[in-house]
Amino acid sequence: MSIRDNLTAFQKQLPDTVKLVAVSKTKPVEDILEAYNAGQRIFGENKVQDLVAKQPLLPKDIQWHYIGHLQTNKVKFIAPFVHLIHAVDSLKLLKEINKQGLKNNRVIDCLLQFHIADEETKFGLSFEEAGEILCNEVFQSFTNVRIIGVMGMATYTLNENQVRGEFRQLRKYFDNLKSKYFNDADYFREISMGMSGDFRLAIGEGSTLIRVGTLIFGERNK
Ligand SMILES: *Cc1c(COP(=O)(O)O)cnc(C)c1O
């Protein structure tokens, strides 16, 4: 199957409420262009260096999502063009994103990443930590960063009940934050969860953004 065929088949399964982030990490610009020519506009990368190398070579109406762990000192490289930063997990990082947003005269949209997996290696906030950030006056003074939802990664396991439970937890965090901090904010509406192996479960639990690489571009070269 070609990338175009994969995408077409994939788009057919998606409800209108769910957007596909085509995860193009490690893939060459030719592959991204093939997906673009098949109609895909949202792409995800997880390394700043790769994103910065690919972005100028590709059409300007691509919406680039940064899905990896972002280091504070690298925000400046993607701030001029990034459409959404998925994995924000500290006030310090938000502060830098706000600063770079100001410099570039734009508001940068972000998601708060939550730790939902039963694995220590995955980044992310607890619900309490997120509350502390959102209540903080420093955060409330930011004018050029906007939190539009949440993101999480489930445990890498074949146990569907566990994965479903973790996605359900993230959905609960979203609902709680919405009612507590974003009740009047229409823009707070994204739940980024689900990858090639678990996107169906994620959609069942209310995902609005699925991040899928392998099923579209094939296996990554290690
Ligand atoms: C690589 C990656 C994905 C996509 O993974 P696939 O299993 O190839 O679909 C999704 N989210 C994040 C954060 C990733 O790093």
Each residue of 67-126: pLDDT tens digit?
Answer: 999 999 999 999 999 999 999 999 999 999 999 999 999 999 999 999 999 887 668 999
- The answer as to whether 69 is a domain residue is yes
Going by C-alpha positions, the residue among 63, 147, 142 that lies closest to residue 111 is: 147
Structural domain boundaries, residue 108: 3-217
Q: What residues have CB less than 8 Å from 188, skipping those under 6 apart?
A: 147, 148, 149, 177, 178, 181, 182
Q: Do residues 125 and 88 make contact, with C-beta atoms less than 8 angstroms apart? A: no
Centre of ligand 1 from the C-alpha of residue 142, in Å:
30
Q: What residues have CB less than 8 Å from 70, skipping those under 6 apart?
A: 48, 78, 85, 87, 88, 93
Looking up tokens 């030719």 gives: 30
What pLDDT band is residue 1 in, cutting at 50, 70 and 90? confident
Which ligand 1 atom minimizes the distance to the CA of 196? 9
Chain centroid to CA 1: how far? 26
- The answer as to whether 90 is a domain residue is yes
Centre of ligand 1 from the C-alpha of residue 108, in Å:
22
pLDDT at 222: 61
Which of 46, 113, 153 to mutate for ligand 1's pocket (most ligand atoms within 8 Å of CB)?
Answer: 46
Centre of ligand 1 from the C-alpha of residue 211, in Å:
6
> CATH number, domain at 158?
3.20.20.10
Centre of ligand 1 from the C-alpha of residue 194, in Å:
9
- The answer as to whether 164 is a domain residue is yes
Q: Is the pTM of this model over 0.75?
A: yes
pLDDT tens, 152-194? 999 999 999 999 999 999 999 999 999 999 999 999 999 999 9
Q: What's the rounded Cα separation, in Å, for the pair 56 and 118?
A: 38
- The answer as to whether 222 is a domain residue is no
Regarding the beta carbon of 27 and ligand 1, being less than 6 Å apart is answered no
- Structural domains in the chain (count): 1
Regarding the beta carbon of 79 and ligand 1, being less than 6 Å apart is answered no
Centre of ligand 1 from the C-alpha of residue 25, in Å:
8
pLDDT at 58: 98
Which of 211, 217, 219, 221 to mutate for ligand 1's pocket (most ligand atoms within 8 Å of CB)?
Answer: 211
- The answer as to whether 154 is a domain residue is yes
